[in-house]
Amino acid sequence: MANIHSQEKRILRSERERLENRRYTSAIKTYFRRLEAVVEGKSDGDADLEHKTLQSTIDKAVKRGALHRNTAARKKARAARIRAGI
């Protein structure tokens, strides 16, 4: 355990940030599953809306620092392939 007050604060802050990043990555995975279900016809919904929501979440995660921009580009390309039905 940390003996320095600022280090204790840093530990708490990094835990909060870790959980926030995890929320973004978890949401992105969920939106991928939803998009795949809509494209495959297993679920009722609008594929364009799901795709737009996924892209928006990915962009927000990059802006927040939860994802690297190259990782985001790869995920967006994957989403476009899924949306196209490939």
| Higher per-residue confidence, 85 vs 30 | 30
Which segments of 44-86 are extended strands (E)?
Answer: none
Which residues have C-beta within 8 Å of that of residue 39, sequence separation ≥ 6? 47, 82, 83, 85
* pLDDT band, very low/low/confident/very high, at 83 (cuts 50, 70, 90): very high
What would the mean pLDDT of 2-25 be, rounded to a whole number? Answer: 95
- What does the block give as tokens for 82? 């899924």
* pLDDT band, very low/low/confident/very high, at 86 (cuts 50, 70, 90): low
In angstroms, the first-to-last Cα distance of the chain is 51
Summarize pLDDT for 15-73 with one digit per residue, the tens: 999 999 999 999 999 999 999 999 988 877 888 999 999 999 999 999 999 999 999 99
CA-CA distance, 58 to 63, in Å (whole number)? 9
- Name the pTM for this structure: 0.86
Q: Is the CA virtual torsion 47, 49, 55, 60 positive or negative? A: negative
